[in-house]
């Protein structure tokens, strides 16, 4: 029996596993990197042990270090969560050799499903439908290009290892193939240490529908119905739901049986997810779905399955790992209502979803829905890990009610500090195509401008921020704190006759100014017509030592006092400097000193938070100075190179 459990992971999934384990009376042990020493999962566990420095290669991927900690702590089992070592067959074997239970499938099943090309061969033999394409060992670039032509464009170039959309590129025509293949191989090698590729036919109206399966050591296999994960960007899931809209009982049964056949074909045990690419053209049919891959672990989106089935899948995992039979048989499982999960990230949708790092100055979630998170107020979003802040999971009697509930929950969520995707999630939840249930995986890309367009910030919201900032500076001056401040004029705060003053401030990184009227204790912001601007009726204010944040409907304004000597990040680029968009590692450089470039040409690529981001030329010119070097770690805003205008 499992009496003590080490969770070999971090963040929200570590907290999620710890929560169930503790309700089962199991002693919990956390591990952490230097960046996570004060993390929520460390605080929630009964014991916690240091792994090493922040990079995953020095911490969460150190199998030997994790096993030593587990041995010294006397644990019975190790739960890998998802990501990191969760689908590492060698690690599963090492756990067994050390006399510990690996809470996951047998190593042979992990290996069978770990490589997409081999998995598709196994599935085809088991009668599970697979996508047309090439899944062989030959990896010559010209050969793969020929196979793409034979398969028929558009095609997907996919890494045989890993998942999460990494090492994956779409090529719509032959001229795009070479660059797409090179980028996919580079990203796959960086993420998984394996740059072997497969080629698949791209389904033109694809939906991503997956089946949750569970198997025990007594020969029982069940499925817990489907999840629709078609709302994606960069092949990363954004909003998931269960059950899938438009799913008939006949198609559900057919897909469920195929998923169970897939599990049986590899002698599966524990929790697994069989992912299908589904042709959504004309609706869901019994012959319109194809095996894509099997994730041999718990999925990020497992809470929606728990919500509609009334189960605890982590509890099921621990029961199966104990050698017990599955808690329920197939005919005892049923769907109750509808559930939706939204992934809340620290990222900037308006800037190509670039990760946003920094201190979480304030975190508040709604109290009437399930929130899976691994952070709290004061925590840091670092460049070392996935930038997920939380998952909001709602459940209601039907799909429309569940989406409405998600909207209300997002509106009640307040995050100050790094930029977030809350407003983007709200736009998605209001999208008519998503609401209709007729969407496919292209919805976000096809509507990107409307979903992530320039923020239409209400002038009243900015006025509220200005007033809050002035109040803050008044308090600072009155407390006699010695700072360099624009508030050195004593008469600005006179309680006598109304006075007018021009106020300079910084909103995000942009310097601005506006006229203010000080009328006794009241402060009024004036518009261009010298008319006072009234603040909006509802908004949130977060006051920190250096700035104020004004938040409403998922939008965030960051206001700071203007200091003449301040070096505002992102300014001064008229001299041709091209800056690194985030803290990360340079993985490719496409230019050198003296090269001529046109606007939009690829300059270099930076890898951060397990994703690769291309930096392109903002205008035509000549590379005057190229600073970036492959393998170099660069800070956010650092100058990568300089472009001079061509003569």
Q: Which residues are catalytic?
A: 297
Rounded (10°) angle between helices 11-23 and 313-321: 70
For 580, the 3-state DSSP assignment is: coil
CA distance 14 to 84: 12
Report the alpha-carbon distance of residue 564 to residue 571 in Å, rounded.
14
Q: b/e string for 37-68 if b means 16 or more Cβ within 10 A?
A: eebbbbebbeebbebbebbbeebbbbbebbbe
Q: Helix, strand, coil % (nearest 5) of the chain?
A: 30, 30, 40
- For residues 10 and 385, the answer to whether their CB atoms sit within 8 Å is yes
User: Looking at the DSSP assignment, which residues form a beta bridge with residue 50?
Assistant: 32
Token pair listed for 126: 């088991």
Output 216-219 pairs: Cβ under 8 A, ≥24 positions apart.
216/269, 216/320, 216/324, 216/325, 216/326, 217/269, 217/320, 217/323, 218/325
Q: What tokens were used for 93?
A: 């074997």
What is the spatial distance between Cα 466 and Cα 469, in angstroms, rounded to a whole number?
5
Asked whether the beta carbons of 24 and 16 are under 8 A apart, the reply is no
- Does residue 20 have a cis bond before it (omega within 30 degrees)? no
Quote the tokens at residue 11: 């963040």
Q: How many CA within 13 A on the CB side of residue 585?
A: 12
Angle (CA) 545-546-551 rounded to 5° is 95
CA distances from 123 to 111, 226, 382, 627 (A): 14, 19, 39, 48
> Residue 163 has which token pair?
């998942």
Q: Going by DSSP bridges, is the β-strand pair 532-533/540-543 parallel, antiparallel, or unpaired?
A: unpaired
Give the Å distances, CA to CA, from 574 to 594, 604, 643.
19, 20, 10
Q: Which bin fits 225, alpha (ψ -120 to 50), beta or left (φ > 0)?
A: left
φ, ψ for residue 138 (rounded to 5)?
A: -70, 125
- Cβ proximity of 129 and 291 under 8 Å: yes
* DSSP 3-state of 629: coil
Give the residue from 545, 446, 23, 552 showing the smallest Cα distance to 231. 446
SS3 168: strand
What is the end-to-end Cα distance of the chain in Å, rounded?
A: 76
| Residue 342: strand, helix, or coil | strand
Q: To the nearest 10°, report the CA torsion of 424, 425, 430, 431.
A: 70
DSSP letters, 460-502, are HHHHHHHHHHHHHHHHHHHTT-----S---GGGG-SSS-EEEE
Q: Is 322 exposed, middle or buried (0-12, 13-18, 19+ CB in 10 A)?
A: middle
The answer to whether 278 and 209 have CB atoms below 8 angstroms apart is: yes
């Amino acid at each position: 029996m499992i009496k003590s459990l080490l969770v070999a992971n971090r963040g929200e999934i570590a907290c999620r596993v710890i929560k169930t384990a503790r309700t089962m009376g199991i002693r919990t042990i956390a591990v952490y990197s230097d960046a996570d020493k004060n993390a929520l999962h460390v605080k929630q566990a009964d014991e916690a042990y240091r792994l090493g420095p922040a990079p995953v290669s020095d911490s969460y991927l150190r199998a030997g270090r994790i096993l030593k900690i587990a041995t010294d702590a006397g644990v019975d089992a190790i739960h890998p969560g998802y990501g990191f070592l969760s689908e590492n067959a060698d690690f599963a074997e090492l756990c067994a050799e050390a006399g510990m239970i690996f809470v996951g499938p047998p190593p042979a099943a992990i290996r069978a499903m770990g490589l997409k090309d081999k998995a598709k061969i196994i599935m085809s033999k088991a009668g599970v439908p697979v996508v047309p394409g090439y899944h062989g060992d030959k990896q010559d670039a010209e050969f793969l290009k020929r196979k793409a032509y034979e398969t028929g464009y558009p095609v997907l170039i996919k890494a045989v290892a890993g998942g999460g959309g990494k090492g994956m590129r779409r090529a719509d025509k032959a001229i795009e193939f070479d660059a797409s293949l090179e980028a996919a191989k580079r990203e796959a090698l960086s993420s998984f240490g394996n740059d072997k590729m497969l080629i698949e036919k791209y389904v033109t109206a694809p939906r991503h529908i997956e089946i949750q399966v569970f198997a025990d050591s007594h020969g029982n296999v069940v499925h817990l119905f489907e999840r629709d994960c078609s709302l994606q960007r960069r092949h990363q899931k954004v909003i998931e739901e269960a059950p899938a809209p438009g799913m008939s009982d006949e198609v559900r049964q057919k897909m469920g049986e195929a998923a169970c056949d897939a599990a049986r074909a590899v002698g599966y045990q524990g929790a697994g997810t069989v992912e299908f690419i589904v042709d959504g053209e004309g609706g869901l049919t019994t012959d319109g779905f194809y095996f894509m891959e099997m994730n041999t672990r718990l999925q990020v989106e497992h809470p929606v399955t728990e919500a509609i089935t009334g189960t605890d899948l982590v509890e099921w995992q621990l029961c199966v790992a104990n050698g017990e039979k599955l808690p329920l048989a197939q005919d005892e499982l049923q769907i109750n209502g509808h559930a939706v999960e939204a992934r809340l990230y620290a990222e900037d949708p308006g800037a190509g979803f670039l990760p946003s790092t920094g201190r979480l100055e304030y975190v508040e979630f709604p109290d009437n829905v399930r929130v899976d998170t691994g952070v709290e107020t004061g925590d840091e979003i670092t460049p070392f890990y996935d930038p997920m802040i939380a998952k909001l999971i709602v459940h209601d009697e039907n799909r429309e009610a569940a989406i409405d509930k998600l909207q209300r929950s997002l509106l009640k969520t307040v995050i100050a500090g790094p930029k977030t995707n809350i407003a983007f999630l709200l736009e998605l939840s209001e999208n008519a195509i998503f609401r209709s249930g007729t969407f496919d995986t292209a919805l976000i890309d096809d509507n990107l401008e409307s979903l992530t367009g320039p923020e239409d910030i209400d002038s009243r919201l900015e006025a509220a921020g200005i007033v809050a900032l002035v109040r803050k500076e008044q308090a600072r001056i009155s407390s006699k704190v010695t700072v360099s401040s624009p508030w050195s004029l004593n008469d600005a705060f006179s309680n006598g006759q109304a006075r007018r003053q021009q106020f300079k401030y910084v909103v995000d990184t942009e310097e601005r100014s506006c006229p203010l009227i000080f009328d006794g204790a009241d402060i009024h912001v004036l518009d261009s017509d010298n008319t006072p601007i009234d603040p909006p009726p509802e908004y949130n204010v977060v006051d920190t030592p250096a700035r104020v944040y004004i938040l409403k409907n998922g939008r965030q304004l960051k206001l700071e006092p203007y200091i003449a000597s301040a070096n505002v990040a992102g300014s001064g680029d008229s001299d041709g400097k091209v800056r690194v968009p985030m803290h990360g590692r340079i993985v490719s450089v496409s230019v050198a000193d003296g090269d001529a470039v046109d606007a939009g040409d690829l300059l270099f690529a930076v890898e951060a938070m397990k994703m690769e981001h291309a930096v392109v030329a903002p205008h035509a010119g000549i590379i005057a100075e190229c600073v970036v070097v492959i393998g170099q770690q660069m800070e956010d805003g650092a100058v990568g190179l300089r472009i001079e205008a061509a003569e």
